[in-house]
Amino acid sequence: MFLQKGPIFTSMANQTVITGTGCYIPPVIKTNQEFVAQTFYAEDQKKIDADGNEIVEKFKEITGIEERRYAEEKVNASDMAVAAAKLALEESGINPEELDQLIVAHNFGNVVKDTIQTDILPALASRVKHELGIQNPSCVAYDILFGCPGWLQGVIQADAFIKAGVAKKALVIGTETLSRVVDQFDRDSMIFSDGAGAAILESKPAESAGPGILSASVQSHCTEEAYYLFLGKSNLPEADPRVRYIKMKGRKVYEYAMQHVPAAMKDCLDKAGISITSVKKVFIHQANEKMDEGIIKRLFRLYGLKEIPEHIMPMSIHKLGNSSVATIPTLLDLVRKGHWKEHSLEKGDIVLFASVGAGMNINAVCYRM
C-alpha cells in the first residue's frame, strides 16, 4: 500500500485552456495624496505623529502604490463579478448555459457601502448565475474562501474537474471590495482596493506543445501563520470593539512570502518539467512591489541565476493597488488584450501564475498560451 503524490487526475485526453478573460476596474480613483490629512494610529493605539506627506512617501517607497480603485457607492462585489464575467463570456463565445462550473473567489462577500457587515447569503456565485440568467441546473455555482490566492485556487479546482472528465467549461471569477473592510486609522488601509477579474476555462483536446494548464502547486501553512491576516478592532482608541476590520501582520507576511512562495513556484515549474529560463511572464499577486520583486529574485536564485529578464513581471499595483483575488485575473486580462506596451503574449509562451495570502495559503500554476 502506498500514498500517491501529485495530482489525482492525470488524463491526457484533454487540456484546460483559457478561452476568454474580462475584468472590472472601478472608476473611483483614490490617490496617495488623499491620505495625507488622515490621522493614523499604530497597533498599540498610539497616534502616529509623523508628517502626513512623510507617511505617504514612505508607504509608496515600500509598496509601490501611487493610487488605488474603489467601487462606486451602489456597486457591490457581485456586481463587479457579473461585469467581468460578461466580458470573459463574450470573448470566449460560449453559451453561458453550457457552463458546468461557476466559481467565485472572494473573502468578504458583498459589503454594502458604509457598513461593515459581510453578506454571503446567497453565495456570490449564486447571485452571479442569477444575474447572468443561467437556468441550467447542472451549472454548479459555489464560492471559494482562500485568501488572496482564491481566484487561482478556483482555476486549479476547475482544472481538476475538467481533467477528471466531469466538466467541460468553467467560469472562474475573483471579486472584492476591500475598501469597505479597511480601518481608515490603520496605515495598511492604503494598500487595499477593489476590482474583479474573470476567465473562461474549457476542455480542449490535448496536443503536443498546445495551450493549457501544465502543472500546479498548492500549500497551506495554518499553525502560527494562520492569523497573519485577521479581523480585528480599529486602531482608533475609542472605536467600537464590536466592529472589526481587516488587519495584517505585515512583517510576518513578508517573511513568510520570502521563505515559501519561491519554493512553491519552483515546485510548480518542476512538475511541468520547465525551467524558469523558459518562462515569458510571471503573473504574481499584486500585494507589495518590494515583496513581489523579492520573490522573483529568490526564485531565480533557486536556479542559480542572478540576472532577471526585463519585463518578466507585469505590475498593476502602482495604479490599481491590492484588490486581493482580483489582481491576477485583472492583470492577465490587461496583458492579453494589449493594454501595456512593454508586455505581450503570443501562442506558445510559458507563463507562471503565483499568489499568497490569508490562511496562510500559496498556489502557483504553470500555463502555456
Residue-wise pLDDT for 278-312, tens only, equals 999 999 999 999 999 999 999 999 999 999 998 99
Q: What is the mean pLDDT of residues 185-196?
A: 95
Nearest to 365 by CA among 329, 319, 326, 314: 329
Report the pLDDT averaged over residues 190-194.
Answer: 96
Average pLDDT over residues 42-48: 91
pLDDT for position 12: 53
The answer to whether the CB of 104 falls within 8 A of the CB of 125 is: yes
Task: Give the count of beta carbons closer than 10 Å to the beta carbon of residue 103.
Answer: 26
Residue 33's pLDDT band, with cuts at 50, 70 and 90, is: very high
pLDDT at 366: 98
**Range name among 17-21, 114-118, 333-337 with the lowest pLDDT average:** 114-118
Is the per-residue pLDDT at 189 higher than 50? yes
Q: Residues 124-177: pLDDT tens digits?
A: 999 999 999 999 999 999 999 999 999 999 999 999 999 999 999 999 999 999
Contact criterion met (CB below 8 Å) for 100 and 164: no
Main-chain dihedrals φ then ψ at residue 366, nearest 5 degrees = -100, 130
Give the pLDDT confidence score for residue 225 in this predicted structure: 95
Please check the confidence at residue 320 and state whether its pLDDT lies above 90.
yes
Section 220-227 average pLDDT? 95
- Per-residue pLDDT, averaged over 256-279, amounts to 96
Question: What's the gap between Cα 4 and its chain centre?
Answer: 29
Please tell me the predicted confidence (pLDDT) of residue 3. 34
CB atoms within 10 A of CB 206: 15
For position 6, what pLDDT does the model report? 41
Whether the pLDDT of residue 92 is over 50: the answer is yes
Query: CA angle, 257 as apex, 3 and 80 as ends, to 5°?
Result: 95
According to the model, what pLDDT value does residue 342 have? 84
Strands 361-368 and 212-220: antiparallel
Report the pLDDT value the prediction gives residue 117, as an integer from 0 to 100: 80
What SS3 class is residue 360? coil
Number of Cβ within 10 Å of residue 60's Cβ equals: 16
Is residue 104 a contact partner of residue 110, using CB atoms and an 8 Å limit?
Answer: no
Contacts of 42 (CB under 8 A, 6+ apart): 48, 235
Element (H, E) at 228: none
Tell me the β-bridge partners of 355.
363
Structural domains in the chain? 14-205 (3.40.47.10), 212-368 (3.40.47.10)
- In DSSP notation, 298-346 reads HHHHTTT-----TT-S---HHHH-B-GGGHHHHHHHHHHTT--TT----
Pairing mode, strands 350-357 and 361-368? antiparallel
